[in-house]
């Protein structure tokens, strides 16, 4: 039996929620679309966002203008600003994605030059867009604990971001990066395998097809596995 659960302490304003969706204790969700079987954890704040089915947001997250693909999940204390995140991504705790930059080319980097909170901004002043550059995370990306993905970065499909990394430049598909600033460590697979996985786009398959072929996704991508995936994708899309 389908259900929608909003905890009595949650604040829910202009939210379109799919079936079997839960918004838990003291969460605040506004102007947001939630797909089926989404979960918004305790004390999380979500505004102006869209989440596909089976997205799990753990407690104490802050997400503003986020677009999050199906089956992606976040850990505790994760912050996402004006960013697009693909399907089947694994975000650990204390992850920061897409925070706005301060313009260090001006006399001051203080936010009074674009925010009215301090009472110094002229009422007719044209405010520059701190989020004009895109921040895009591909599909099947693993971002480990305490990593920071800076504004303007594009992370390719299948990439891995090591714990504590500060990512200031684009990350190629299926590349492991780490450090401050993050640098490439190695590729997860050979170029041939990467190209085949990119073409397969398994994350676009229907959920029942993935479930029925679980062992293919739980295997090392050798020739037998890749051939099976290619055949599955030809039939399943």
pLDDT digits (tens, 9 = 90+) for 100-133: 988 899 999 999 998 889 999 998 888 878 888 8
Strand (E) or helix (H) holding 33: strand 28-34
Total count of residues recorded for the chain = 237
Pair (103, 19) in one structural domain:
yes
Closest CA relative to residue 31, chosen from 4, 57, 5, 49? 49
Pair (101, 218) in one structural domain:
no
CATH number of domain containing 31: 2.160.10.10
- For the residues of 156-176, what is the DSSP string, one character each? -TT-EE-TT-EE-S-B-TTEE
Question: Within 10 A of 37 (CB to CB), how many other CB atoms are there?
Answer: 17
Encoded tokens for 184: 């490439």
pLDDT of 22-69, one tens digit each? 999 999 999 999 999 999 999 999 999 999 999 999 999 999 999 999
Pair (183, 203) in one structural domain:
no
Question: Within 10 A of 194 (CB to CB), how many other CB atoms are there?
Answer: 20
Closest CA relative to residue 39, chosen from 88, 74, 89? 74
Pair (176, 197) in one structural domain:
no
Distance, CA of 162 to CA of 141 (rounded, Å): 11
Pair (144, 236) in one structural domain:
no
Active-site residue, from 7, 26, 54, 102 = 102
Q: Which domain holds residue 197?
A: 190-237
Pair (61, 175) in one structural domain:
yes
Pair (142, 63) in one structural domain:
yes
Q: How confident is the model at residue 9 (pLDDT cuts 50, 70, 90)?
A: very high
Distance, CA of 53 to CA of 17 (rounded, Å): 10
Pair (185, 215) in one structural domain:
no
26 carries an active-site annotation: no
Give me the residue label for tokens 């992606």: 72
Distance, CA of 145 to CA of 142 (rounded, Å): 10
Distance, CA of 151 to CA of 205 (rounded, Å): 30
pLDDT at residue 237 tops 70: no
- How many folded domains does the chain comprise? 2
3-class SS of residue 204: helix
Distance, CA of 149 to CA of 168 (rounded, Å): 7
3-class SS of residue 214: helix
Question: Within 10 A of 36 (CB to CB), how many other CB atoms are there?
Answer: 16
Pair (196, 207) in one structural domain:
yes
Pair (110, 135) in one structural domain:
yes
Q: Taking residues 84-112, report their average pLDDT.
A: 95
Pair (185, 212) in one structural domain:
no
pLDDT of 124-141, one tens digit each? 888 878 888 889 999 999
Pair (81, 167) in one structural domain:
yes
């Amino acid at each position: 039996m389908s259900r929608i659960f909003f905890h009595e302490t949650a604040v829910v304003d202009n939210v379109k929620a799919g079936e079997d969706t839960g918004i838990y204790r003291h969460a605040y969700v506004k102007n947001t679309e939630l797909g089926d079987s989404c979960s918004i954890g305790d004390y999380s704040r979500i505004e102006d966002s869209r989440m596909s089915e089976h997205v799990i947001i753990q407690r104490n997250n802050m997400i503003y203008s986020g677009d999050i693909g199906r089956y992606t999940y976040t850990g505790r204390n994760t912050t996402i600003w004006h960013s697009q995140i693909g399907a089947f991504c694994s975000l650990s705790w204390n992850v920061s994605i897409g925070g706005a930059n301060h313009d260090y080319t001006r006399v001051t980097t203080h936010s009074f030059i674009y925010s009215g909170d301090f009472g110094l901004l002229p009422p007719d002043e044209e405010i520059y867009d701190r989020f004009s550059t895109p921040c895009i995370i591909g599909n099947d990306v693993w971002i480990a604990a305490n990593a920071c993905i800076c504004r303007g970065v594009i992370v390719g499909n299948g990439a891995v971001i090591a714990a504590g990394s500060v990512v200031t430049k684009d990350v190629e598909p299926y590349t492991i990066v780490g450090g401050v600033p993050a640098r490439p460590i190695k590729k997860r697979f050979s170029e041939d395998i990467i190209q085949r996985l990119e073409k397969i786009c398994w994350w676009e398959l229907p959920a029942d097809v993935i479930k029925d072929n679980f062992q293919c996704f739980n295997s090392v991508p050798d020739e037998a596995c890749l051939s099976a995936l290619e055949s599955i994708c030809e039939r399943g899309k």
